[in-house]
Amino acid sequence: MPRYAMVIDLQRCVGCGSCSISCRNENNVSEGFYWSHKITETSGTFPNVRYHYIPTLCNHCTNAPCVRGCPTRAMHKLENGITMHDPKKCIGCRYCMINCPYGVIYFNWKDPHTNWKDKRELIKGVTSSPAEEVKKLDARGVPYYNPHRDATLPGIRPKGVVEKCTLCDHRIKEDKLPRCVEACPADARIFGDLNDPKSQVNNLLGKFRPFRLKEAQGTEPAVFYIRDFSSAGYPRTKGGI
Amino acid sequence: MKSRLWFGLLCIGIVLGLYATFKVYTVGFGLYAKTDVLVWTLPLSTYIFFSLTSAGLAFVSSIPVVFGIKRYEAIEKRALYLEIAVLIGSFVCLLLHLGSPLAVIYIFLSPNPSSPLWWLAVLYILYFVLLLSAFWGIHKGKISKPLGVIIFLIAIGTSTTLGWLLGMTDARPALNASFFSVYFPLTGFTSGLGALLLVSMVYAHFSGREVTEDRSALYNELARIMGIFAGMVLVIFLWRTISGGISSTAVEYRAFKHMIGSIPYNIELWLGLAVPTLLMLVPSIRATVWGKITASALVLVGMFFGRLEFVLSGVVRPLGQMLEGRPEIVSYVPTIYEVFVALFGLSAMLMLYTLGERYLRLDAVPE
């Protein structure tokens, strides 16, 4: 049985956000939710400042605290290492959100995609309304609705339950890469099997010094980061007093 | 006239709660002061307040059967009934916290014993059924010792499991102090004493019935114990502040450091713990009805705000990617719907209790 993991090469990542956009389309993610997101940081003091960009997603932790705490096993581990969620079993207690150190789980506070239910025309007599657009395309919820998502999870999750990245488990079942990996124009996301010693993922983990987010929590994330982007140089110096 | 006014107020509270329930389940939980950061707020803290008060009442009602102190039998029936009413109040708030309450059936169909929440659900169901049985027995004039002992043990189980539930959250150390499995039963006992003393005193005052000397001495004893426990909680509370809020350098404690200056924190510290402790230390105040009413009401108000402060200490600081585009500390003001939920729990509890006081002879002493 494979154990899937992702390596994110921070030297290759340009911070374009295609991972996030493609994820939204693939998984019909609602407004304000980010199954695929980022952490940005600035360091230094003006004028010597630097911007850091770390792409984030569910870490599919081996010791997932969200899974341990879920009273109904709605949040559960698949044999291939993916942390999956079953909205049918979710009681909406949000304990997984409390337990997750990475802030990657979202709760449907209201019906999803409410903006697309609006029956008012954007410009009266000129444009159609969002609801008409959805109807015209015979879509569900959003005009760009992806029906393939329904294979393993409700295409659009209902109000009152949580949701998060599933590492595109529905695509993996069809031997396709997760959508964010496929869409990355810089090939900064590398997906593979940790149980296969010859996989690209293991190749990179052996070649560089990887790190994972909040390793001290002991959650054993399956998302690894390698390298860092910096084009900066500096003249050799010992500093001074 | 007073009785009508009282029932009228409770009905208003219940109607507002039903309105909030209707809106929450039709419009959604967006009516709460939610963000993806503030995932637990007033409805949950009110649930914790009620559930721990209920556990505290279980400790009080168990005193005669578990510890054999016979004079406490005089208050056992009232304590037991109040426990049921308070527990129902907690269930009301819990139901309005859960996003999909109907899926609760999966607690049985798909159990996860590694989850403290699962244990809590199972214990509460058992607890509620046993409480009803015990009350029915007492109402018929019989005390069941085995049932009393089991209820006592389950009350220890629920209050300490709640400590485990929050103690498991490694990601939020402000919720994760290992002493919460001690702190919760202790504070629960204090608020349980406060609740029992308050309703007993108010009933004695407004019913116009004469309080026997034995019963009066018992109330004074309860007031003294409540004062002692409020003092003990105050010490632990201050150490929590010193260790987590002042000494700790961990960034995760910044949420708690923020809460130290907040209104709920200060209400809990001064009104809920310091003042009642001082009031109950003075024998002349402790001996008066109004002294006891004031101190017990303050304890309850303090504990209510304390639970809110505690829950917010865990959530006001965004974690991981939730910090993106947000300030380091997110502010919280409850919405009117959240206030209605808290009011609903309180009104339902008080309505049940008032009806019980009127029709179930809660003063009766079992054989």
Give chain A's domains with CATH numbers. Answer: 4-226 (3.30.70.20)
Residue B306 lies in a domain: yes
Q: One digit per residue, pLDDT tens: chain A, 241 residues?
A: 999 999 999 999 999 999 999 999 999 999 999 999 999 999 999 999 988 999 999 999 999 999 999 999 999 999 999 999 999 999 999 999 999 999 999 999 999 999 999 999 989 989 999 999 999 999 999 999 999 999 999 999 999 999 999 999 999 999 999 999 999 999 999 999 999 999 999 999 999 999 999 999 999 999 999 998 888 888 998 989 8
CA angle B158, B230, B121 (to 5 degrees): 10
Searching chain A, which residue's CA lies closest to the CA of residue B114? A68
Q: Which domain holds residue B234?
A: 12-357
Report the residue from B36, B165, B321 with minimal CB separation from A38: B321
Q: Structural domain tally of chain B?
A: 1
Q: Which of residues 46-75 of A touch B (CB under 8 A)?
A: 56, 65, 68-74
CATH number at residue B28: 1.20.1630.10
Q: What is the pLDDT of residue B176?
A: 66
Q: Do B39 and A72 touch (CB under 8 A)?
A: no
8 Å CB contact between B113 and B77: no
Q: Is B324 on the interface with A (CB under 8 A)?
A: yes
CB pairs under 8 A between A and B: 150
Report the residue from A71, A90, A214 with minimal CB separation from B118: A71
Task: Provide the token pair at B53.
Answer: 């008060």
Cα distance from N-terminal residue to C-terminal residue, chain A = 58
Report the residue from B40, B103, B104 with minimal CB separation from A94: B40
Residue B4 lies in a domain: no
Residue B40 lies in a domain: yes
Tell me the ipTM for this assembly: 0.93
Type of residue numbered B275: V
Q: What is the pLDDT of residue B367?
A: 65
Searching chain B, which residue's CA lies closest to the CA of residue A91? B100
Q: Do B99 and A213 touch (CB under 8 A)?
A: no
**3-state secondary structure string, chain A?**
CCCEEEEEECCCCCCCCHHHHHHHHHHCCCCCCCCEEEEEEEEEECCEEEEEEEEEECCCCCCCHHHHHCCCCCEEECCCCCEEECHHHCCCCCHHHHHCCCCCCEECCECCCHHHHCCCCCCCCCCCCHHHHHHHCCCCCCCCCCHHHHHCCCCCCCCCCEECCCCCHHHHCCCCCCHHHHHCCCCCEEEEECCCCCCHHHHHHHHCCCECCCHHHCCCCCEEEECCCCCCCCCCCCCCC
Choosing among B36, B94, B310, which should be mutated to test the A contact, i.e. which has the most A CBs within 10 A?
A: B36
Q: What is the mean pLDDT of each run of 10 residues along chain B (367 residues)?
A: 90 98 93 90 97 96 91 93 97 96 97 97 96 94 89 95 88 76 92 96 85 91 96 93 88 89 95 96 93 97 96 93 94 96 98 95 82
Task: Provide the token pair at B74.
Answer: 């005089």
Strand partners, B347: none
Q: What is the pLDDT of residue B209?
A: 79
Residue B362 lies in a domain: no
Task: Provide the token pair at A118.
Answer: 């609006």
Chain B residues whose CB is inside 8 A of the A110 CB are: 27-30
Q: What is the pLDDT of residue B33?
A: 84
Chain A residues whose CB is inside 8 A of the B310 CB are: none
Q: Do B111 and A72 touch (CB under 8 A)?
A: yes
Q: Is B6 on the interface with A (CB under 8 A)?
A: no
Chain B residues whose CB is inside 8 A of the A93 CB are: 97-99, 117
Searching chain A, which residue's CA lies closest to the CA of residue B316? A98
Report the residue from B36, B170, B320 with minimal CB separation from A106: B36
